[in-house]
A and B are shown apart, each in its own frame.
Chain A
Amino acid sequence: MDIKEEAEKVLKELSQALGEIDLRETYYVVDEINITRRDGEPTRKEEFREIIRKNAPRMAENGSYVMEVGKWLK
């Protein structure tokens, strides 16, 4: 079965299994949310820049990060 058809079947069946309900939605995550945080003192790890560089998808020869090449530039 095609994955899209499969997904539609899953959604239909789960939705049917749920049925109908008439209930007020409530906030469920936590009662007490800590919305602020201490900034603390900034620190710098020597290897951080190198690790981030390794994770970049592509680097240009001049050392710039290549994030995306516009498809219109072909």
Chain B
Amino acid sequence: MVEVTALTDEVQEKVAKYLDRARREDGDINALIELNPGAEQAAKEVEKKIDSGKGGRLAGYVVAVKSNINVMGLRATCASKTLENYVSPYDATVIQRIKKEDGIILGMTNMDEFACGSSGETSYFGETQNPRAKGRIPGGSSSGSAVAVAAGFCDVALGSDTGGSIRNPASHCGVVGFKPSYGRVSRYGLIDLAMSLEQIGPFANNVRDAALLLEVIAGHDPKEGTTIKDQFQGYTDNLSADLDGWKIGFAREFEEFTEPAIVRVIKRGLDRLSSNGAEVVEIALPNLDKALPTYYLTVFVEFFSATRKYDGRRYGYKIEDVCGREVLRRIMLGRYISQKEYSGRYYKKALQFRSLIKRELLHALEAVDVIAGPTVPKLPHMLGEKIEDPLVMYGYDVLTVPTNLAGIPAGVVNVGRIKGVPVGMQIQGRPLDEQKVLNAMHALEKD
């Protein structure tokens, strides 16, 4: 493999190496839907800026972007036939901010169709391979973004996380992934799965790069009504592995849902946090088992609403005519629940449980600095292994969805392997306290 490092190579040379590697190796991996034809020209311009001492914070960084985020002139397909020819007419706010800081867009990455999946298998453009666990799923829905980083096609990547779509593939592919607090990053230009849950976030090979990309894309956006006007300090400047005096919460309920071998790896990760000065304490999350039904009943309704614009009049194809089975199932469920909602039987009940789960998590976080635990309860299955029951597939998300229901930040960093398959630890923090989550991740990485 050609060695490519973030800032040592000349930018043009580095971009050429990444493009060359992607062209040679992505045929087997299928992480990318489209390469940016303007990447080399952008590299030339960035190099000039660096030479004149005017390079931005991301100068020299090559960024891959999930195919549900608008990058002007490239296709935002959501990995669906519905939008296979849709060319973005504008840049999402996160892309504007990356370009302003001289990041170079490599191209658009593969994903589960409309982010409906946790395996990377439901894309119209075909499944994505896991380069760090050959023959297994990479996780999803941001499968291509995690794999692009793991396979060495780029320095960092953007994904979106509605119920674990950044953290799940980060864990399976052994890379760093981060979901910010709801309202921390603008969703302007993101093609939503469920608007009340989703956030854009970074993938990287190390916590510092993830923190850097996060601090570039974060912040209030007048175009996006849910972004929060909150001053935050530079995450990279304040990165520290010193956890002296910290309390780390571990919920006993995590063990009920998780394979014992994964729990053992996670407990070794907890020991590493202890060795950095933290005290691990037990916490209780008694309603953790309610998170999955709460999440899915909410997602079905919001997704049904979000897809009504794909009626074949504006963006090519009517979604129901061309989409895959999982997308169609969610649309049918969302339509049915919406029709029946006068009785408050499903969606309203899910909202009530959402309040309960949020309260429970925030209460637990009052007593500790962060909560640490497993990310995914089982190892990624083999590609091609048919999982017929959708509820079994939804089970992959049981440990990641509470974060989205509560709107809190969470990140994943690799803490070990089981028979060569990476296992990531999830760190969850208080709302808008991204720094503590990043610091705990940094401590795990440093050890």
Contacts and interface: CB of A to CB of B under 8 A. Distances in A.
B346 A15 contact: yes
A26 interface: yes
Contacts of B297: 14-15, 18
Given A10-B390, A17-B292, A55-B89, A25 B328 contact: no
A3 B329 contact: yes
Contacts of A6: 329, 390
Contact of B87 (A14, A29, A54): A54
Given A11-B346, A23-B355, A26-B355, A18 B290 contact: yes
B337 interface: yes
Given A4-B332, A57-B316, A33 B358 contact: no
Given A35-B225, A57-B313, A11 B336 contact: yes
Interface string A49-69: 001101111000000000110
How many interface residues does chain A have, given as a range?
35 or more
Contact of B407 (A21, A24, A28, A38): A28
B419 interface: no
Interface in B211-263: 220, 222-223, 225-229
B223 A37 contact: yes
Interface in A34-53: 34-35, 37-38, 47-48, 51-52
Contacts of B49: none
A10 B333 contact: yes
B73 A14 contact: no
Interface string B341-353: 0000110111111
B86 to A, nearest CB: 6
Contacts of A26: 355
Nearest to A37: B222
Most chain B Cβ neighbours within 10 Å, of A14, A32, A33, A47: A14
Given A14-B296, A57-B312, A30 B407 contact: yes
B222 A29 contact: no
A66 B196 CA distance: 34
Contacts of B333: 7, 10-11
B386 interface: no
B293 A15 contact: yes
B350 A18 contact: yes
Contacts of B354: 28
B23 interface: no
A13 B312 CA distance: 33
A21 B352 contact: yes
A55 to B, nearest CB: 6
Contact of A11 (B228, B229, B337, B348): B337
B45 interface: no
Nearest to A30: B183
A57 B319 CA distance: 13
Contacts of A1: 388
Interface of B: 72-73, 85-90, 182-183, 196, 220, 222-223, 225-229, 289-290, 292-294, 296-297, 312-317, 325, 328-329, 332-333, 336-337, 345-346, 348-356, 358, 388, 390-391, 407
21 contacts: A4-B332, A7-B333, A7-B336, A11-B346, A14-B296, A18-B290, A23-B353, A29-B182, A29-B226, A29-B407, A32-B229, A33-B226, A34-B222, A35-B225, A37-B222, A48-B90, A54-B85, A55-B315, A55-B316, A57-B316, A68-B313
